[in-house]
Structure 1
Amino acid sequence: MKRFFPKASCAAALLALSGCSGWQSALDPKGPAAGELAWLIWFFTALCAAVWMLVMVVLVATLFQRVRTGKDPLVLDLASEHRKMRVVLTAVGVTAAILIGLTLLSFFANRTLAGIGSDEALTVRVIGHQWWWEVRYENAQPSRILTTANEIHIPAGEPVRLLLTSTDVIHSFWVPSLAGKLDLIPGHMNVLDIRADKPGVYRGQCAEFCGAQHANMGTFIIAEPRPQFDAWLDDQLRPAAAPTNAEAKAGADLFLQRPCVMCHRIGGTPAGGTVAPDLTHIASRQTLAAGTLTMSRGNLAAWIADPQGIKPGSHMPVTALNGDELNAIIAYLEGLK
């Protein structure tokens, strides 16, 4: 059987990236944490380059001097040896000063990063799975707790606290335009404070090898003005929309009759699975399968029909459906916005 690796999947990834605020890069900072880290990267790079150039200049000068004098290397000149000793001691002192300076820079950078979330207004729990991200918005009111997947909406210009953990293996959460990497460790909670300076879509990636589909474990942070974020949150807290046409109604019935309900949850329906992404508002997301495909009717059908062809090794099983059944389920899922 021919495996399904559509060329469109590569294009889909590029299209998903093209919607982002800049390329996925630590050198394209869009928040205070990423800005601090980018400054450190450039400073360290410039300083190391200057040290390397200085070492090369001294090495070349020394080699030319030895060739020019033609002296016997076994004959020692006391005055020359003293000069060399002073040069070496000076180099050691400069090296020590550089290392101490870089250590202090790192220390103050960490203090800056730690201060980002001192007044956070939103807490989001991010749970790593093979190979997708569970996203849960914490709230003191149980009715305001929201669970979604792979896309994290945040209010732009406000600090947000991410609580990071994992259910299986070690993952690493990295949205380079907003913050540095931080591991998600089973049984342990790590804290990452982020802030997006401006509205935009910022792509992230698992940065710790976590299995066969590690490379297809992407995420998106979508920063919006506060009114838009509040409206999005209110919409997401509503139960799934009821199907409005015969085909979608048939799809809803099929969904509830098939193994889908064992893994997935759809709010307002008997589907209450917790081991796979929540599908209550799946059609409102930009991508499928943790950034592997862009959201479209065709990609949704391809993913349901042959998940192992698109993402080999994923825990999404193949469900036996004929063409009419597949179209009905797609019609139902397309209405979950």
Structure 2
Amino acid sequence: MTQTMSGGSVRPATLLAGQNVLHPHSPAEHSITVLWWVMLGGAWIGLTLVAVLLVLGWVRRNRDALPFGGGERAATRLVVGLGIVTPILVLTGLFLWSDIFVIRSTAAPARGSTALTVQVTGHQWFWEIRYPGMKAVTANELHIPVDTRVNVVGTTADVIHSLWVPELNRKIDLIPGRTNSVLLYADRVGTYPGQCAEFCGLQHAHMELLVVAEPRARFEQWLHGESGSARPGTGAEAQRGQQLFLTEGCADCHQIRGTSAQGQVGPDLTHVASRTTLAGATIPNDRTDLTAWLRDPQRAKPGNKMPELPLSSRDIAALVSYLEELK
């Protein structure tokens, strides 16, 4: 178990665990799951029927009559009934169920039907998350209050992405210049992993998202904290780390509210120490992994836009000390 800066814990090997569409934790995903089980059951029934008919046909290959009697007319009725009428009825039923009933619960929420709106922007390869009306900006970890309808409005800053949290709802495509919406609702407290579901480049597989559903009071406390500016570094090493951050190129790509760092290329780091993961939920957010990331970001996530900076081990240690204070 690895201790994180935020005081929680995470197992690096299980960062991707929990993306199970068969474990729904919202009404929308429950309707999708029920439809899937019904389709699976129907497929097994159909497969069993076909297998029985094949075996029966082989066993009676030298006989003219059907097992239950009857001649050509009976055989024709059997083919028409099982091969034409039954598929039409089954497919029509599935179409009506999925495109009339299931789609109502999974569709984008109507205006005024949600208690919270969150803006999510896909980047290569991380998620930028904003809460309209608040100054809170974070990355890769979307906090929502439990038992609350949340309107997630998504777009992209570069290529096409697709936002999907399998245990909470369907996926939505994020297309440049357009917005798309999906309803997120969690029926219990927990962390629900999500994923970019549209190939978007080299590190597509490492573009993960964590949806953190928590009690309303805890969510409000988190949101209030995320909306504040960063505090200056305390202690000689952290203060030196802050100065390095502002002068050695970090501020060109990252923003830390309350400082002169206003970069917009990489994630906002104002409260980076409050997150449980780094690099699009690729690695845990602890001192060891943060140090390794700053020393050689391309090793953990090849192709990402974070360059290897010409910093000494002492400089990196000072940077880590400063970033650890950004809670």
TM alignment of 1:205-216, pairs within 5 A: 205-216=195-206
TM alignment of 1:188-267, pairs within 5 A: 188-267=178-257
* Residue 105 of structure 1, aligned match among 85, 97, 107: 97
The residue number in structure 2 matching 1:28 is 23
Q: 1:244 to 1:236 in 2, by over 3 A?
A: same
Contact in 2 for aligned 1:30/1:196 (Cα 8 Å)? yes
Q: 1:46 to 1:65 in 2, by over 3 A?
A: same
The residue number in structure 2 matching 1:137 is 131
* Aligned-residue CA RMSD (Å): 1.6
Q: Give the Cα separation in 1 of the matches to 2:12 and 2:103.
A: 33
Contact in 2 for aligned 1:33/1:116 (Cα 8 Å)? no
* Residue 48 of structure 1, aligned match among 43, 46, 50: 43
Equivalenced residue count is: 311
**Secondary structure in structure 1 of the residue aligned to 2:89:** helix
**Secondary structure in structure 1 of the residue aligned to 2:19:** coil
Q: Are 1:290 and 2:280 an aligned pair?
A: yes
Gaps of 5+ in 1: 1-10, 72-78
Residue 199 of structure 1: how far off its partner (Å) = 0.9
Residue 170 of structure 1: how far off its partner (Å) = 1.1
| 1:54 counterpart letter in structure 2 | L
Residue 114 of structure 1: how far off its partner (Å) = 3.0
Residue 172 of structure 1: how far off its partner (Å) = 1.1
TM alignment of 1:115-194, pairs within 5 A: 119-139=113-133, 144-194=134-184
The residue number in structure 1 matching 2:7 is none
**Secondary structure in structure 1 of the residue aligned to 2:61:** helix
The residue number in structure 1 matching 2:5 is none
**Secondary structure in structure 1 of the residue aligned to 2:153:** strand
Q: Are 1:87 and 2:57 an aligned pair?
A: no
Contact in 1 for aligned 2:203/2:301 (Cα 8 Å)? yes
Q: Are 1:13 and 2:12 an aligned pair?
A: yes
> How many percent identity over aligned positions?
43
Describe the superposition over 1:197-251 as per-residue Cα deviations: whole angstroms up to 9, x where unpaired: 0111111111111111111111100001111100000000110022110100010
Residue 128 of structure 1: how far off its partner (Å) = 0.6
Q: Give the Cα separation in 1 of the matches to 2:24 and 2:325.
A: 36
**Secondary structure in structure 2 of the residue aligned to 1:66:** coil
Describe the superposition over 1:128-177 as per-residue Cα deviations: whole angstroms up to 9, x where unpaired: 111100111112xxxx2322110000010000011111111111111111
Residue 99 of structure 1: how far off its partner (Å) = 0.6
| 1:334 counterpart letter in structure 2 | E
Contact in 2 for aligned 1:116/1:194 (Cα 8 Å)? no
Contact in 2 for aligned 1:116/1:195 (Cα 8 Å)? no
**Secondary structure in structure 1 of the residue aligned to 2:191:** strand
Q: Give the Cα separation in 2 of the matches to 1:334 and 1:34.
A: 37
Task: Name the TM-score, length of structure 2 as normaliser.
Answer: 0.91
Gaps of 5+ in 2: 1-9
Residue 113 of structure 1: how far off its partner (Å) = 2.1
Q: Give the Cα separation in 1 of the matches to 2:11 and 2:311.
A: 25
Residue 44 of structure 1: how far off its partner (Å) = 0.7
Task: Name the TM-score, length of structure 1 as normaliser.
Answer: 0.89
Contact in 1 for aligned 2:252/2:262 (Cα 8 Å)? yes
| 1:328 counterpart letter in structure 2 | A
Q: Give the Cα separation in 1 of the matches to 2:305 and 2:201.
A: 12
**Secondary structure in structure 1 of the residue aligned to 2:194:** strand
Residue 267 of structure 1: how far off its partner (Å) = 0.7
Q: 1:199 to 1:40 in 2, by over 3 A?
A: same
Structure number with the higher helix fraction is: 1
Q: Give the Cα separation in 2 of the matches to 1:255 and 1:63.
A: 76
